[in-house]
């Protein structure tokens, strides 16, 4: 059996009565509205969209690779400009490459 007699006892004392406690637990849970950042502090590069904003497709095979930052910027710019997903830009590039050979 465990011996708990050597554990330190709290030196904080008794908790305050409920009447003296803050009322924050009964307050409604409302998040504050986000403040827009000033234009001068925003980075010059465009914001990246996360993958969850893209529409669902039947593509299930994962394809990962490492590219240069310049290639990444170019392909994302093309995809955003044409309203395509990155995979669609890559598929069209592969089709164009195969047809040119």
User: 25-45, pLDDT tens digit by residue?
Assistant: 788 888 777 777 666 554 556
- Tokens 């409920």 locate to 18
- pLDDT > 90? residue 20: no
Answer whether residue 8 shows pLDDT above 60. Answer: yes
For the residues of 18-73, what is the DSSP string, one character each?
A: GGGS-SGGGS---PPPPPPPPGGGS-SSPPPPPGGGSPP-S----------HHHHH
Segment 50-97, tens digit of pLDDT: 655 556 677 888 889 999 999 999 999 999 999 999 999 999 999 999
Please give the pLDDT value at position 30.
81
Which band of pLDDT confidence, cut at 50, 70 and 90, is reported for residue 9? confident
Mean predicted confidence (pLDDT) in 14-24: 82
* pLDDT at 72 (0 to 100): 95
Q: Work out the mean pLDDT of the chain and round it to a whole number.
A: 81
- Whole-number Å distance between alpha carbons of 50 and 36: 20
């Amino acid at each position: 059996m465990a011996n708990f007699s050597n554990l330190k006892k709290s030196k904080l004392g008794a908790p305050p009565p409920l009447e003296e406690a803050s009322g924050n637990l009964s307050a409604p849970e409302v998040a504050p509205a986000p403040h827009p950042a000033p234009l001068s502090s925003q980075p010059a590069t465009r914001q990246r969209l996360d993958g969850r904003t893209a529409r669902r497709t039947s593509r299930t095979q994962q394809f990962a690779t490492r590219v240069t930052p310049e290639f990444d910027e170019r392909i994302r710019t093309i995809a955003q400009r044409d309203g395509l997903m990155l995979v669609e830009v890559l598929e069209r590039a592969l089709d164009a490459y195969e047809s040119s050979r």
